[in-house]
Amino acid sequence: MKQIFLFFLLITIANSTFGQKPTPSEEVAVKAAIDQLFEGMRTADSSKVRAVIYPSAILKTAFVDKNGDSKLHSESMEDFIKSVGSPRKGVYDEKIWNYDIKIDGRLATAWTEYSFYLDKQLVHCGVNAFELFKSDKGWKIIGITDTRRTNNCKAEPKYVINEMIDNWHKAAANADENLFFGSMAEDCIYIGTDKSERWLRDELKAWSAEFFERDKAWDFEPIERDVYLSDDGKLAWFNETLDTWMGVCRSSGVVALVGGEWKLKQYHLSVTVPNDVVKGFIELVKKYEEK
């Protein structure tokens, strides 16, 4: 009788242990190992990647080829690590949307949805299935299997907004009137460098008609940009520096979701003036306005 009781007690303990939700600290540690992998990819730091990879780790991709056949492709983890640190054009940025982490003892799995970007361009998306082992030196990735597709991909709002603004500037450079004004909300306000330049979208369209009849309206090349998103994800604002025929300019703007698309609601362009020559600039403007 005692043996039967002991048997059921052991089964109960084993089942309760296996079914326990992982402690927050262990989940954080597993996630940190995965995040370090992607940080290494973003910064082209192969040492960061190698530090969270177990020596015998495997790397596989499950996909459907152009003939509709199911394929499982294997890649050398060592080759992957080396490629991370190799000279390349562009930034590898894999955006992880969520983590489903399960842990039992020294074994962990993590299911993550992702979108992969080369610089700001979406390349593909899918799911990563991670396996991890808790070694004496912490959690190490022992296997990654991913899927890859180019349809139904999630896109981070900041990437979409950056792409929209970049394309808006390109539309001016290419005199693409439809794309340029189509990227602006009907009530968008455009503030130019002249103190008299404050237009609603259609007023700007009328004023700039002669410019868009040319091969190029104006050519502003973005140098850098910061984008900030509201908590509800429906509004964003940004500041940027631009390379223009006027030299380096600065601008700021507001974009909002309009009918499911990001549209400009306000754009403010300004010329930069070095502090050391501001007095001379003021005198120059004063003389001009006195004419």
Q: What is the DSSP string of 83-135?
A: HHHS--SS-EEEEEEEEEEEEETTEEEEEEEEEEEETTEEEEEEEEEEEEEEE
Section 202-206 average pLDDT: 97
- pTM, full prediction: 0.56
Q: What confidence category does residue 188 fall into, taking pLDDT thresholds of 50, 70 and 90? A: very high
- Domain residue extents for the chain: 21-147, 157-276
Q: What does the alpha-carbon distance between residue 26 and residue 242 come to, in Å, rounded to a whole number?
A: 45
Q: State the pLDDT at residue 101.
A: 95
Q: State the pLDDT at residue 231.
A: 85
Q: State the pLDDT at residue 52.
A: 98
Per-residue pLDDT at 135 exceeds 60: yes
Residue 8 exposure: Cα atoms within 13 Å on the Cβ side:
4
Q: State the pLDDT at residue 122.
A: 87
Section 270-289 average pLDDT: 92
Q: State the pLDDT at residue 239.
A: 97
Q: State the pLDDT at residue 21.
A: 53
* 21-147 shares its CATH topology with 157-276: yes
Span 217-263, pLDDT tens digits: 899 999 999 999 998 888 999 999 999 999 999 999 999 999 889 99
What CATH code is assigned to 21-147? 3.10.450.50
Span 260-273, pLDDT tens digits: 899 999 999 999 99
Section 185-197 average pLDDT: 96
Mean pLDDT, the chain, integer: 90
Pick from 126, 53, 129: nearest CA to 84: 53
Tell me if the domain spanning 157-276 has CATH number 3.40.630.10.
no
Q: Classify 159 as helix, strand or coil.
A: helix
Q: Which has the higher per-residue pLDDT, 105 or 121? A: 105
Span 2-49, pLDDT tens digits: 454 444 444 443 444 444 455 678 999 999 999 999 999 999 999 999
Q: Within 10 A of 175 (CB to CB), how many other CB atoms are there?
A: 16
Which position has the token pair 């990647």?
49
Q: State the pLDDT at residue 9.
A: 41
Distances (CA, A) of 79 to 45, 85, 123: 14, 10, 21
Q: What does the alpha-carbon distance between residue 258 and residue 291 come to, in Å, rounded to a whole number?
A: 45
Section 53-62 average pLDDT: 96
Per-residue pLDDT at 202 exceeds 80: yes
Q: Classify 37 as helix, strand or coil.
A: helix
